[in-house]
Amino acid sequence: MEQQRDESQLPDSRGFFGPYGGQFVPETLMPALQELETTYNEAQADTSFQQELEMLLRTYVGRPTPITYAKRLSDALGGAQIYLKREDLAHSGAHKINNALGQALLARRMGKQRLIAETGAGQHGVATATAAALLGLQAVIYMGTVDMARQKPNVFRMQLLGAEVRPVESGSRTLKDAINEAIRDWVTNVRTSYYLLGSALGPHPYPRMVRNLQSVIGREAREQMLAADGPGRWPDTIIACVGGGSNSIGIFYPFLDTSSQMIGVEAGGLGIAGGQHAARFADPKQGRPGVLHGTYSYLLQDEDGQIALTHSISAGLDYASIGPEHAYLRDQGRVTYTYATDDAALDAFLQLSELEGIIPALESAHAVAEAIRLAPTMSPEQIILINLSGRGDKDLDSVMQALRQREEEKHESS
């Protein structure tokens, strides 16, 4: 449901968050976007739709996901107390199911039997395939071949769930290119297919819809932090990783009316100076506003305005743009954005696994890395809440490869 605060008035009627957002799409898609917005508004006001969604989130997804106190990690860092919002425990292994299930119900309401989706790390693809199987819909998932190679378990999971996974060989063969192909499919089959966009980006009304569907994370966290088995107050700082921005806006949005500091962590890759990263806000040379995939937001681009290549150890964070609401919240100074490098994320992945018995997704490990950096500078009375957006089973091959490379580099230098 919409949050009742000033920010709930955004986006405006044209889909803008301040200067960001909008609908920059071919004319052939405008009727589909108008139909989607009308259907979504009707569903928001339909008690039976909301009840079905809430029932499925409870009985199928396993919500509410718990808050876990990371005592050993907190003790090791010697500063703030760290809590984890456990989206890794949601059915299918990540927060992506919250949005996929809600949009799949909208597709069914619109009479669409075919879902189109894109995926990078594979979790949105798995979530879409899961929702399609549950509701008896067809699913076609576009995925770059680079991501398919490093996320083989998720490719197989999508296929097991009955989805067709279409490899994308164009461009960098990652998430950006998968979105390109998904949009081409949608343009061709707009009357019969529903585009189930996975993050808080794209043309209006997608950023608003995805934000609202993912806000279940923050709404639960507000209650859980105040509950008897929680710390008894809201966090001083909330940290989440930011690719397109769905898990982060999902936890940030319900806390915008509180005093909690919020930090979004982008993918720093191999470092900002070398340009091999996906930190849209941190790179003054390449990061500036532009249009990509139907929305106006911050975007990594070269001097000629061409989309820059990105890099991250995490397949889910190496996207060249960021959701328009994040750009707006950064301009407003309400959310601070930073980055974690591949090495920092890998170290955080290992530390959380060893100290807490929780193996995080590499995406989530970027948020953990920022908490590891920040916590020692805070007092033991302060609280950090990390949105642990997914579990790390899918990333074990990538982590093993990165650790082997570390050992080889260490051996060569000794």
What pLDDT score was predicted for residue 413? 80
Active site residues: 96, 118, 389
What pLDDT score was predicted for residue 35? 96
What pLDDT score was predicted for residue 121? 76
The model carries a pTM of 0.96
What pLDDT score was predicted for residue 8? 54
pLDDT tens sequence for the chain (414 residues):
333 445 556 999 999 999 999 999 999 999 999 999 999 999 999 999 999 999 999 999 999 999 999 999 999 999 999 999 999 999 999 999 999 999 999 999 999 999 999 998 789 999 999 999 999 999 999 999 988 988 888 999 999 999 999 999 988 888 888 989 999 999 999 999 999 999 999 999 999 999 999 999 999 999 999 998 899 999 999 999 999 999 999 999 999 999 999 999 999 999 999 999 999 999 999 999 999 999 999 999 998 999 999 999 998 898 999 999 999 999 999 999 999 999 999 999 999 999 999 999 999 999 999 999 999 999 999 999 999 999 999 999 999 999 999 999 888 887
Cα angle, residue 254 at apex, residues 338 and 345 outer, rounded to 5°: 30
Burial (Cβ within 10 Å: 0-12, 13-18, ≥19) of residue 110: middle
- 243 vs 3, 70, 72, 312, 328, CA distance in Å? 23, 24, 28, 10, 16
CA nearest 284: which of 301, 305, 262, 269? 301
DSSP 321: B
What pLDDT score was predicted for residue 290? 97
One-letter identity of residue 133 = A
Cα angle, residue 67 at apex, residues 63 and 72 outer, rounded to 5°: 145
